[in-house]
Amino acid sequence: MSRQVSNWIWFPLIQRELDTFVERQNSHRIRKQNDVALPSGGRPDEFYNNPQLYGGDQCLIPVDPLEVDELLADSEDGELKLRYVDKDFEPLAEAAYDAIGRPEITLTTAWTVFIGMVQRMTDNGNVDSP
CA distance 17 to 15: 5
- Within the chain, residue ranges assigned H as helices are 2-27, 44-49, 65-74, 78-82, 89-99, 110-123
Looking at residues 66-93, what average pLDDT do you find? 79
Cα Rg of the chain, angstroms: 21
- Number of Cβ atoms within 10 Å of the Cβ of 121: 22
Q: What pLDDT does 75 receive?
A: 72
pTM reported for the whole predicted model: 0.72
Give residue 50's pLDDT band: very low, low, confident or very high (50, 70, 90). Answer: very high
What backbone torsions phi and psi does residue 112 show, to the nearest 5 degrees? -65, -40
> Could you report the per-residue pLDDT of 56-66, keeping only the tens digit for each?
999 989 999 99
Q: What are the domain boundaries of the chain? A: 2-123
